[in-house]
Amino acid sequence: MRKSYPGAEGVVEVLRGVDIDLAAGGTLALTGESGSGKSTLLHLIGGLDVADGGTIRVDGQEITGLDDTGRAALRRSTVGVVFQQFNLIPSLTVEANIAFQARLAGVADAGRLAHLAQALGLTPHLSKYPEALSGGQQQRVAIARTLAAQPKLVLADEPTGNLDEATASDVLDQMLKLVRDTGAALLVVTHSPAVAARMDRQVHLSQGRLA
């Protein structure tokens, strides 16, 4: 796939022809220096941006031709995204944040939500608001929210980038276990060799191409 943006000195090619495949249940780390196009690639796969060329297929569905409504539906039902900045809704409790995506997708299940909360150590915090939580706890809520919607593909953009080493390791352990339990595929963008080493495969992006 290809993606470019207008720049001060002309068109900037961010992705210059990238080909990646990831089977159901597989885990893949995407590494590369800042500006190499990692987050852009993640956004294209997640329907957060539109490619200039190429084909993107998720769970058998061609998504490159989808309009805004179609891409929003994709993110509700098929693709879940875990962001480095958590993106929790401050006016909702932890419990409501976890349930939010699942309700949009029409798959809210109290038992599943309770299981995710328990597995991620969030049960004592369900009535709290995000501002009362530590960074590690907020990232656990973000992971639970994504997995509650039962996506086929989980995209994680530097999911432990804001956490200390010990917390990052624990959060990653829980995320990997829960993703594998669902049979979803997991694509992680990371600068961390330790995080990348935990995935089944690693690919490196450099200057818009796979190295």
Nearest to 145 by CA among 85, 92, 84, 100: 100
For residue 150, what pLDDT is reported?
93
- Is 98 part of a structural domain of the chain? no
- Name residue, tokens 């530590």: 134
Q: Could you give the CA distance from residue 125 to residue 54 in angstroms, rounded to a whole number?
A: 44
Q: Is the distance from CB of 206 to CB of 33 less than 8 angstroms?
A: yes
Note whether residue 191 is domain-resident.
Answer: yes
50 within domain boundaries: yes
Rounded Cα–Cα distance for residues 199 and 117 (Å): 24
**Domain extent at residue 65:** 2-87+151-210
In the prediction, which pLDDT does 128 show? 98
What is the count of structural domains for the chain?
A: 1
111 assigned to some structural domain? no
On whether the CB atoms of residues 138 and 86 are closer than 8 A, the answer is yes
- Asked, for residue 16, whether it belongs to a domain, the answer is yes
What is the per-residue pLDDT for 85? 87
The token pair at 86 is 């958590």
The predicted pLDDT at position 83 comes to 87
In this structure, is residue 144 part of a structural domain? no
Q: Which domain CATH number covers 6?
A: 3.40.50.300
DSSP string across the chain: -EEEEEETTEEEEEEE-------TT-EEEEE--TTSSHHHHHHHHTTSS--SBS--EETTEE-TT--HHHHHHHHHHTEEEE-TT----TTS-HHHHHHHHHHHHT---HHHHHHHHHHTT-GGGTTS-GGGS-HHHHHHHHHHHHHHT--SEEEEESTTTTS-HHHHHHHHHHHHHHHHHHT-EEEEE-S-HHHHHTSSEEEEEETTEE-
Please indicate, yes or no, if residue 17 is contained in any of the structural domains: yes
CA distance 46 to 31: 17
Enter the pTM of the model: 0.91
pLDDT by 10-residue block (mean), the chain, 211 residues = 88 92 95 90 92 91 91 91 91 98 93 95 97 94 95 93 88 92 94 93 93 78
Would you say residue 141 lies in a domain?
no
Asked whether the beta carbons of 187 and 155 are under 8 A apart, the reply is: yes
